[in-house]
Amino acid sequence: MKTNLFARLFPRQLTRREREMAYLNEAVSIYDLERREREVDQGRFRGC
């Protein structure tokens, strides 16, 4: 039980790749996806 509480209070950080994929998966159209891909290519998540 304590392990579950700890895991819920302190979830693991997503990797940069996981954050990028989550961002791309939220695209609502092909145009939105293309814009998001450009943003990722330009380093949107590099500083996180």
| In the chain, domain spans | 13-48
pLDDT tens digits, residue range 23-46?
A: 999 999 999 999 999 999 999 988
- How close are the terminal C-alpha atoms of the chain, in Å? 31
Q: How far is CA 1 from the centre of its chain?
A: 28
Q: List, in order, residues 6 or more apart from 33 with CB less than 8 Å away.
A: 24, 27
Tokens at 19, concatenated? 């954050």
Rounded mean pLDDT of 6-26? 92
The pTM assigned to this predicted structure is 0.72
Closest CA to 23 of 45, 47, 46: 45
Residue 20 has a CB neighbour count (10 Å cut-off) of 20
